[in-house]
Amino acid sequence: MTKTLFLFIVVIIFVSSYGDLKGQERAIPVNISLFNESTAIPFTRFFSTPAHPGILVGTEFNYKEKEHSRLFQTANISYFYHNYLAQGAGINTELGYERTLKSGLAFEGLFGIGYMHTFATTEEFSFSDGQYLKKTDKGNARLFPSFSIDIGYYLKKGEINNGKIFIRYQLWAEYPYSPDFIPVMTHVNLHVGAKFFINKKAKKND
């Protein structure tokens, strides 16, 4: 977990420096969302109960931006808790494309790749020498690819640093999960979140 946090901090510094090198007058964008996680085949579930809570915090920078579209990169750290299964902390990056309308509506598609470390949420035991012994849980390292689509709404027209609210449907997978049983475990996350800016004052377009 310490290594994950360190790597995320490095990515944040890079993203901030990238914006400064390009001479952007933007503040640092911050994306925060709360989500419900479920183990499911992609597109078979939208929202499931009981809820398994999670949180994502991240930032982003633009590669190319036009009046109604942009190509961008994200850097995120996330955590989820699935009762009786696992809890996990991860770091990932996504390549995203956004299309906006004059009304303020926005649509995004994102492809991501990341690293996650998961831990069991129940006690585990092993049988040895005629007795059950409690196992020490060191967790499991996972690679997790993802694909997300979302719909959002920009709150103020004409603002460079324009806040946004969004709903996101994210599909992702854990690999390797259990090579001798289930090599890949698929998940669905439903996010409700917002994007805002910090450190610099917003400026309006001319």
Q: Examine the pLDDT at 21 and tell me if it is beyond 50.
A: no
- Interatomic CA distance for residues 22 and 97, integer angstroms: 20
Where in the sequence is the domain holding 13, given as residue range(s)?
2-198
Q: How many residues does the chain have?
A: 206
Q: What is the pLDDT of residues 156-174, one digit of tens each?
A: 876 777 899 999 999 999 9
Beta bridge partners, 76, equal 58, 92
Residues 67, 72, 76, 80: is their CA dihedral positive or negative?
positive
- pLDDT score of 12: 54
What is the bridge-based pairing of β-strands 86-100 and 69-82?
antiparallel
Average pLDDT of the residues in 139-156 = 93
Looking at the domain assignment, is residue 204 inside a domain?
no
The helix (H) or strand (E) run that includes residue 31 is: strand 28-39
pTM beyond 0.75, yes or no: yes
CATH number at residue 118: 2.40.160.20
Q: What is the pLDDT of residues 120-140, one digit of tens each?
A: 887 655 556 665 555 666 788
| pLDDT confidence bin for 85, thresholds 50/70/90 | confident
Looking at the domain assignment, is residue 73 inside a domain?
yes
Looking at the domain assignment, is residue 114 inside a domain?
yes
